[in-house]
Chain A
Amino acid sequence: MSELEVQATLSRGERSRSRGRRVTPFEVLAVVVALFLLVAGLLPGLLAPGDPLGIDPAAAFQPPSPAHWFGTDESGRDIWTRVVHGAGTSLVIGFAATAIGLGVGLVLGTIAGMLGPAVDFSVNRLLEVLFAFPGLLLALLFILIFGPGVWTATVAVGLSASPGYARIIRGQLLAVRRSSFVEAATVLGRTRRQLLLRHILPNTLAPLFVLGTLGVGQAIVWASALSYLGLGAQPPAAEWGAMLSAGRTYLTTAWWMSFFPGLVIVLTAVAATVLGRAIERRARYA
């Protein structure tokens, strides 16, 4: 990077610094949604003390009311309770799938970036093959082989997100590897292991935090999509996608059965996206 380019970059950063730091109302909302989900996920009983699986056939199909904020479903289960208790499942799926995706991506990306051109070439061809399939299709294939369920769906979502992570990590790794401080460390005679652990990886992982935040939202949406198709969480589990799917049958007579689970899926995805972008902006200009 020439001196001129560095200066240009710096001045651009200077100009947008104030804009980058200002907290927008959307970000506040996103934080509120994220906090709500976190509380719902960790301590669902605090927000909804009822049993998400407890049936009450006499109270089936009740529209939203003070007694049942989000109404009741076909078996008289309280939808507010189920949405709140479903947060835990969704968050676990979201975080676990992202962790799997990042983990696999990190391993593949590191192998490609560190072990020389021949390995890089092979890993890249493998990634290209995986990229040829849309992510959800890969997930469907995985579920077809291992059968539907929460954990297969989680692994499936994680695996299908991993090629994207691997490619970004590889690119980042190659860029860091060529930077002058790594060159300096190489000249000082550091081993490859020291280089990777002390210099390259720490500088590669920072952007992953942003990717991860965006990824959790995406993983939750994907897992809900799989449950909606009957391939993830199985009924009567309180899971948003499964609830949306169950409510679809009664869309014309009991809209609340699908509206509220759908709403939280959308809010979660939007909140994760807004938060991810916010962190990205701050990370870049910090």
Chain B
Amino acid sequence: MRQRASTLLIALAAVSALGLTGCSPASVTPSASSTPVSGGTLTYASGDAEPSCLDPHVGGNYPQALIATQYLESLVSRNDKGAIIPWLATSWKESADGLTWDFTLRDGVTFTDGTPFDAAAVQANIAHVQDPATGSSTGYLALQKITSTEAVSPQVVRLHLSAPDSALLESLSQVWVAMESPTALKRTQDENCASPVGTGPFMVTKWVKQDSVTLVRNDDYTQGPADSAHTGPAYLDSIVWKFIPDSASRYAALQSGQVDVIDNAQPDTIVQAEKSDQIAHLDAPRPGASNRIELNSGKAPFNDPLVREAFIRSANIDAAVKSLFFDTTKRSTSALSSAEALAVSRPDLFGYDPDQANQLLDAAGWTKRDADGFRVKDGKRLTVVFPVSTNQSIPAEQSLFEQLQATAKQTGFDVQLTPMDLSSWYGALAANDYNAVSAPYTKVGPDVLRILYHSDGITPAPSGYFANLAQVDDPKLDALLTQAAKTSDPDARADLYTKAQNRLLEGFYLLPLYDQQNHYLYRTTVKGLRALPTVSTPTFYDAWLAA
């Protein structure tokens, strides 16, 4: 009896799961008024992993950047043309030799705990990011060239560099090196992770783990980055920042009006939303690297360039992108995001060509096939271990990997996809237990190439994460990237990055897929929402809710 009852119960649960469909609420007439109104609580639902620390100095991933953009501010920002604009710093000056930078800070800014924002605060923040105890990876790598800091006056801070850094301003615009209260930073890391204190338009007041973070307006706020639509405090009273990892539930919550904005929207829901007059779409591809599959050249079988090229030639990415993404994105053949002006695209290198793939594998000595049709050499199967982070790859991307697995099988690759949660995935990478991996990396500007493909990136950052997952170890490429990072002349810099990208792409270390997808869907009652042109995180400073 017990058994039968539970069988039926589970069967019932399966049936009710099937019955779950999105229901559209009654139609709402969009407000004709375009004058912002203050007040109201906006609910945001994130599909990214819930951060384990709300201070983006620690570690430094995109989920942290999404939320920290609401309460932390950087020295500089970037406008939609890609130019660096003032934020907490009003002006800056590079010395002739490129080794010292002076930043003049905005007057009268205080952190939300009352601590004044001054040169000493900037010093404390850079020291915090560079302190190995903080365990920073993204911020740490971005500020690697800063050797020391100096308070010239309370309003002027001087940075000393080990080498000229053409990417310094771009690096400083990122939320992973945003300014936090030095008083708050003195607390234990656990305390600071739970309630970081910044100068931003909102402040963290409550964090219910596995559920939501509550952000309340900072009433003393005076102005945002130079391209903001208004000055003074934000319009919204508060933001409830929820975590809804399941994409179907997230979209259903948006449809029903339980939440106002969602991120990580699925391609099929974007197409659906675009037909709706209640939901709008904000597409903000992330800067930095494209979404790509890194081939681990540090170990077999991808230590052989022929096998790497064969793998790339046996992947039918174009067909997969077309079937899974419904024209919400385009195929990329570049290591960099299309948001980067210096991106080099090489469609000639990444086309689907199974015949050529077969020839390459034959040439590489993988001539025999086993009973399952996979190629073997010296008794070993041609296996590609591919850990997939289910937190970072949306279902459509996971399906794309399955299609890749199916097409690569025809040429004899045994692609072993293993879906994992974020911490197991980091663990697999740290243990070098992968042959292929898709790892998003966001950084403002082409300097991301140095972080991802310079041989220095094989050495782990203090957090234990190493960014050069393709394990590219090419002295000529290193030289080009190092030189480019030192060069501030725009033409010479562009030339160096072009050469570096061509060398990288021709080495078949990576398989570009598309831009890092960053689609927000929001109810049309939300006005004034935009993505910050630094790392494309949404900012709610100018946002307001229409009645």
- Judge if A262 is at the interface, Cβ distance under 8 Å: yes
A75 and B4 contact, CB distance less than 8 A: no
CA distance A211 to B3 in the complex (A): 9
Given known pairs A57-B323, A235-B419, A252-B269, the reply for A74 and B399 (CB within 8 Å) is: yes
Closest to A136 in B: B10
- Judge if A76 is at the interface, Cβ distance under 8 Å: yes
CA distance A165 to B176 in the complex (A): 56
Shortest Cβ gap from A284 to chain B (Å):
14
Segment among A26-34, A103-111, A264-272 that sits at the interface with chain B: A264-272
Tell me if B's interface is mostly helix, strand, loop or mixed.
helix
- Judge if A207 is at the interface, Cβ distance under 8 Å: no
CA distance A74 to B396 in the complex (A): 8
- Judge if B2 is at the interface, Cβ distance under 8 Å: yes
- Judge if A55 is at the interface, Cβ distance under 8 Å: yes
A277 and B319 contact, CB distance less than 8 A: no
**Residue among B4, B324, B399 making CB contact with A273, cutoff 8 Å:** B4
B320 and A57 contact, CB distance less than 8 A: yes
Shortest Cβ gap from A22 to chain B (Å):
21
**Residue among B7, B14, B406 making CB contact with A236, cutoff 8 Å:** B406
CA distance A273 to B8 in the complex (A): 8
Q: How large is the interface on B (under 10, 10 to 19, 20 to 34, 35 or more residues)?
A: 35 or more
Closest to B23 in A: A252
Closest to A53 in B: B406
- Judge if B20 is at the interface, Cβ distance under 8 Å: yes
CB under 8 Å from chain B, chain A span 152-201: 164
CB under 8 Å from chain B, chain A span 83-120: none
A58 and B319 contact, CB distance less than 8 A: yes
- Judge if A218 is at the interface, Cβ distance under 8 Å: yes
- Judge if B208 is at the interface, Cβ distance under 8 Å: no
- Judge if A151 is at the interface, Cβ distance under 8 Å: no
Contacts of A265 in B (CB 8 A): 11, 14
**Residue among B11, B324, B407, B418 making CB contact with A60, cutoff 8 Å:** B324
- Judge if B15 is at the interface, Cβ distance under 8 Å: yes
Shortest Cβ gap from B245 to chain A (Å):
12
CA distance A57 to B404 in the complex (A): 11
- Judge if B322 is at the interface, Cβ distance under 8 Å: yes
Given known pairs A75-B323, A262-B17, the reply for A221 and B7 (CB within 8 Å) is: yes
CA distance A272 to B11 in the complex (A): 12
Given known pairs A236-B405, A273-B7, the reply for A230 and B419 (CB within 8 Å) is: yes
Contacts of B402 in A (CB 8 A): 55, 75, 235-236
Shortest Cβ gap from B385 to chain A (Å):
13
- Write out, one digit per residue, whether chain A residues 200-215 have a CB within 8 A of any chain B CB (1) or not (0): 0000000000010011
- Write out, one digit per residue, whether chain A residues 248-265 have a CB within 8 A of any chain B CB (1) or not (0): 111111110011001101
- Judge if B282 is at the interface, Cβ distance under 8 Å: no
B406 and A75 contact, CB distance less than 8 A: yes
Given known pairs A235-B419, A269-B10, the reply for A252 and B251 (CB within 8 Å) is: yes
- Write out, one digit per residue, whether chain B residues 1-31 have a CB within 8 A of any chain A CB (1) or not (0): 0111011101100110110111000000000
- Write out, one digit per residue, whether chain A residues 219-233 have a CB within 8 A of any chain B CB (1) or not (0): 001101100001000
- Write out, one digit per residue, whether chain B residues 247-278 have a CB within 8 A of any chain A CB (1) or not (0): 11001100000000000001011011000000
CB under 8 Å from chain A, chain B span 322-350: 322-324
- Judge if B395 is at the interface, Cβ distance under 8 Å: yes
| 3 nearest A-B residue pairs (beta carbon) | A57-B323, A60-B323, A57-B319
**A residues touching B (Cβ–Cβ < 8 Å)?**
53-55, 57-58, 60-61, 74-76, 135, 164, 211, 214-215, 217-218, 221-222, 224-225, 230, 234-236, 244, 246, 248-255, 258-259, 262-263, 265-266, 269-270, 272-273, 276-277
